[in-house]
Amino acid sequence: MVLIPLEAGARRTLVLVLTLVIAAALAITIVRPAIARYLTDRADTSAALERALAWDPTDGDLRVRLGRVYEADGAYGEARSHFGAALRLRPTDAYAMLELALLADREHDLPGARKALDAALRLDPHNVSIRWDAALLHFRWGDREGALEHFRYVLAVDPSQRDAAFHLARTLLAPGEDPGSLLPSEPAGLTNVLLAALQHEDLVLAEVAWSRRAKLEPPLPEATSKAYLSLLLDRGEGAMARRLWLSLVPDGNPAAQGNAVWNGGFETERLLGWGLDWRVRRVWGVDVALDRFVVAQGSRSLRLTFNSFPTLNFAGVTQLVPVEPGREYRLRALAKALDFTTQSGLKLQVVVPGPVEQLLAETPAISGTTPDWVPLETRVTIPSGTALVSLRVRRQPAPEPEGNLGGKVWIDEVSLQ
């Protein structure tokens, strides 16, 4: 074959033609889809979407959206045609397959709906949105086990859908059925279920979820454990609260075996101020601190320094204590006073917490200056049905006029046994 050299003008013409061809191809490839997307963003009817589709018939997402609009309008044939076209363009499009399942369900074609739904789940088994729709479909079909399976998955992996999935899954459980059947096995899923149970104050499910989750790594986030403990304490669930507390604070130092009071010897480095440790509320005229020099036993005691009016009404040191309903306990503490001159001394009280507190018992009060540590003791019987009491350090206003309140009181070795 003989190549004939082109004149310079002919070469320029050929380059121009090729440039125009390439530009036209780029226009088809880039401009038409851009126009289609622009029209789609502004379309709200099937006719407007059809005009957008004419600019780019290969847009699978646009096909699915148009199919949904036709389905909503009752034009099921057109909807199925567009869902099918989307699948031909992208055979692994799980959303398009799900749309066919939803369409078949709307047409009361249960076998067709189940077949399409199973295909969608095979294409994308970890898609939470598809799992959610699958759960709702099974729920509508009366397939309790199938719905529960998908709700469990949503509960386990999607915090945004957790509350709705929790409500529906709870509805599916038969009366008295073990809520543990809602639980996944992996740590993240169990954490999600626990959070849902806490959100809805479902103590039964929360206990089951926490019991299983606490055995797994990594440890639960501290905020989640604290939220669970707070709910238990608010509900007066003393035994469960103690069990959780001991798992959160394993290095705590109870004063003696069998003592219901946590850290009764004040031996920890600091008072945590939450859970089952001592809580100190700031009150004007009373300074509360750990003392490392004046102790009855061990290495620390609790010191209260007063500089206040005689009308001081103090209950700023408290601890929530799990107890056994109906049991009799002995409350005991060692106390020491220095220049705490008043007609109304310091004592310990046991009360049932609540909007209206119920005083169960109180020790004698300490005041003045004591030569050494003196015991403060009383007996208390816990009412039936009460599993959590509040132990508090109390000073009531003086019954008669007296001077300003000063001096110090130390407390150590508090026990409820």
Mean pLDDT score, 190-208: 84
Which residues are paired to 286 by β-bridges? 283, 306
On whether the CB atoms of residues 48 and 42 are closer than 8 A, the answer is yes
Mean pLDDT score, 45-66: 79
Residue 147 clears pLDDT 80, i.e. is over it: yes
| DSSP code for 234 | H
Tokens of 16: 């121009």
Q: What is d(CA 131, CA 120) in angstroms, rounded to the nearest whole number?
A: 10
| DSSP code for 30 | I
Mean pLDDT score, 196-200: 84
On whether the CB atoms of residues 170 and 204 are closer than 8 A, the answer is no
Q: Is 62 helix (H, G, I), strand (E, B) or coil?
A: helix
Distance of CA 65 to the CA centre of its chain: 35
Mean pLDDT score, 80-96: 91
Choose between 417 and 51: higher pLDDT.
417
Give tens-digit pLDDT for 157-168.
776 776 777 777
**With pLDDT > 90 as the criterion, what percentage of the chain qualifies?**
53
Give the length of the chain.
Answer: 417
Fold of the CATH domain 34-248: 1.25.40
**With pLDDT > 70 as the criterion, what percentage of the chain qualifies?**
87
Q: According to the model, what pLDDT value does residue 255 have?
A: 43
On whether the CB atoms of residues 321 and 414 are closer than 8 A, the answer is no
**CA-CA-CA-CA torsion for 255, 261, 264, 269, nearest 10 degrees?**
100
Q: According to the model, what pLDDT value does residue 395 have?
A: 97
* Domain 279-416, CATH: 2.60.120.260
For residue 323, give Cα distances in angstroms to 63, 145, 236, 348: 65, 41, 10, 17
Distance of CA 61 to the CA centre of its chain: 36
Sign of CA dihedral 73, 77, 82, 84: positive
Those residues with Cβ within 8 angstroms of residue 356's Cβ, 6 or more apart along the chain or in another chain: none
Give tens-digit pLDDT for 275-316.
999 999 999 999 999 999 999 999 999 999 999 999 999 999
Q: According to the model, what pLDDT value does residue 152 have?
A: 79
Q: What is d(CA 222, CA 229) in angstroms, rounded to the nearest whole number?
A: 10
On whether the CB atoms of residues 393 and 306 are closer than 8 A, the answer is no
Query: Where do the structural domains in the chain lie, given as residue ranges?
Result: 34-248, 279-416
Q: Tell me whether the omega of the peptide bond preceding residue 218 falls within 30 degrees of 0, making it cis.
A: yes
Mean pLDDT score, 338-357: 95
Mean pLDDT score, 186-209: 84
Those residues with Cβ within 8 angstroms of residue 354's Cβ, 6 or more apart along the chain or in another chain: none
Q: Is 59 helix (H, G, I), strand (E, B) or coil?
A: coil
Q: What is d(CA 238, CA 319) in angstroms, rounded to the nearest whole number?
A: 12
Residue 3 clears pLDDT 60, i.e. is over it: no
Those residues with Cβ within 8 angstroms of residue 179's Cβ, 6 or more apart along the chain or in another chain: 170, 173, 202, 204, 205, 208
Domain 34-248 matches domain 279-416 at the CATH topology level: no
Choose between 406 and 55: higher pLDDT.
406
Tokens of 416: 């409820």
- Among 103, 125, 121, 120, which residue's Cα sits nearest to residue 112? 103
Distance of CA 365 to the CA centre of its chain: 43
Q: Is 358 helix (H, G, I), strand (E, B) or coil?
A: strand
Those residues with Cβ within 8 angstroms of residue 28's Cβ, 6 or more apart along the chain or in another chain: none
Residue 80 clears pLDDT 80, i.e. is over it: yes
Choose between 7 and 338: higher pLDDT.
338
